[in-house]
Amino acid sequence: MERTTKSTPLSQQMKNRVNEKREEKEEYDGDFGTIISTGSTLLDLALSGGRVRGGGLPGGILVEIFGPSGSGKTVLLSEIAGGVQRQGGDLIFYDPEARLNEQFAKLFGLELKEGMYKVPNKIPEVFSAVRKWEPVGKGDVHGICADSLAALSTDMEMDNEEGDKMGQRRAKEFSEQLRKTCRIIKQKNYLMVCSNQVRQNMDAGAYGQKYVAPGGEAMGFYASVRLRFARAEKIYEKHTYQGKEVKRVIGVEVETEVFKSSIWKPFHKAPITIIFDYGIDDIRQNLQFIKDYSKQSVYTLGGQSLDKSMLEAIKIIEEDKLEVELKEEVINLWEDIESKFKQERKPKR
């Protein structure tokens, strides 16, 4: 018996494609109508370079940055806050440890306007205020930053009660507040970014998590993105003074990992260079990335050798205003590398 095939009408094929695209879009969190940069091209790409060219953080999500003390979490938080303001968005900056000052904020183009900087004591002071907030800025994305969730207390802790009850209450309050707040973040297209310290888990055993973030598991559950910071490695610079070599630490390099992501794929990694009294040095890291993955053994741009040291190459990029060209080359190179790992498979039916 001859076998016949039944073709799908063209109109139905088009509907199927539209539905597939809709399903693909709904698979991820975040509104990519406006993107906020982290200040690092490579981190932006690691976060969502496969969804939108250049990557970055979309609105409508909660982000947790966690890692050891001194690894650069506050720097990244401040870079993101500055990015929100530069795109016309309003901002609230919660600082439980009261460490942020105007001079430090200016490094990131962050203006501490009246009423936006707050020093809360308790967990509800942060999250309940977010639910009541009415931004007036013209930006498409408004931001909420909270530096060091570990410093927030509960009523029980403020009353000097200690022990397991205090820890249980902290976890419960985080869970209650996040459950109420996350739907507001999504509905109003806010970008909320929080930093958190990790602490050694003495009860981990042989196969448990060696490090945990304070506040229970609520942040890990509700966050669309969790960025893990490794311990910072020092960056040294050498100069000769009166015939003698002098060496100083000028900054740190930190490897970041997208530990959890529902805006794109997780587990991408990106190095970040932080220079003291400057912030994230995107030019330095971009030059190094091109050198590491191109055929040249020197710093290049557009295939042309700069034939200089790192500091001299940075100076050329800044003086000739080539930052955009450098960034575009890094994005192109990253996308080319990423394409090698694309899985071309027959869709499951």
Q: Is it the case that residue 164 has pLDDT exceeding 50? A: no
In the three-class reduction of DSSP (H, G, I as helix; E, B as strand; rest coil), residue 223 is classed as coil
Q: What is the dihedral of CA 87, 88, 89, 94, to 10 degrees?
A: 90
Give this prediction's pTM: 0.86
Is pLDDT at 19 greater than 80 in this prediction?
no
Q: Rounded mean pLDDT of 6-33?
A: 58
Q: Is the pLDDT of residue 5 over 80?
A: no
The predicted model gives 303-312 an average pLDDT of: 88
Confidence at 297, pLDDT banded by 50, 70, 90: confident
The segment(s) of the chain belonging to CATH 3.40.50.300 are 29-229+253-272
Strands (E), 79-149: 91-94, 117-118, 142-146
Share of the chain above pLDDT 70, in %: 84
**Beta strand 142-146 with 91-94: parallel, antiparallel or unpaired?**
parallel
What CA–CA distance (Å, rounded) separates 98 from 88? 25
Band of residue 116 on the pLDDT scale cut at 50, 70, 90: very high
Mean pLDDT in residue range 45-66: 96
What CATH code is assigned to 29-229+253-272?
A: 3.40.50.300
In this model, does residue 151 exceed pLDDT 60?
A: yes
Nearest in space to 105 (alpha carbons), one of 60, 164, 145, 61: 145
Average pLDDT, the chain: 86
